[in-house]
Amino acid sequence: MIGLIDYGMGNLHSVAKALEKVGGDVELVKQAGDIANYERIVLPGVGAFRDCMATLKDTGMADAIVEAVNKGTPFLGICLGMQVLMTRSYEFGVYAGLNLIEGEVKPFPESHVERGFKIPHMGWNDVVLPQGEPHPVLQGINKGDQVYYVHSYYCAPKNPEHLLAACSYGDFPFAAVIGRDNVLGMQFHPEKSQKVGLQLLEGFMRWKP
């Protein structure tokens, strides 16, 4: 059973349908106390980091998520749901995240905009795996496979081992997938990424960290 966290800022319908398409049994989670009941947890998200974290804290979901992760529950954060995994964000100020993966959320450099790269970074782009054995959820991803991104900020994990896949917007590299232990984050939207996205969600379903 997959708990899809509903805190008012996620593309819940599309994510739920995609998970169900790959065999997931999905329920929306609206109460912090229910998070512990699920075998896997997915946190989707669109919008501002500050508002997301404020809602997660006010509802008690932030503490419940951390507790579930610390108990070993497989966890997937999507887009903003990935960014809140980090220590802090510099989006419209400085705000603390869940600190499940040490690092920061930063804006694309101003020079990038001045050179003609539009923000947000929106559309199809690559998932580039590092050398060596890929993360179990990423197995089967081939060179040239693309996924769908919509974001103005990017994650910069402190530990290079937590960078599981990368992408570049123009000549500026950023984290496409981050993770450690039973925690995984995807900057792109797998639910909008057609065959590749469904393959990744199926990989998360099978994952036994």
Catalytic residues: 79, 189, 191
Residue the block writes with tokens 């989006």? 91
Helix axes 12-21, 194-206, angle to 10 degrees: 70
CA-to-CA separations, 41 to 55, 69, 113, in angstroms, rounded: 17, 9, 36
What sections of 59-190 are H helices per DSSP? 61-70, 80-83, 110-114
Neighbours of 89 (CB within 10 A): 25
d(CA 191, CA 189): 5
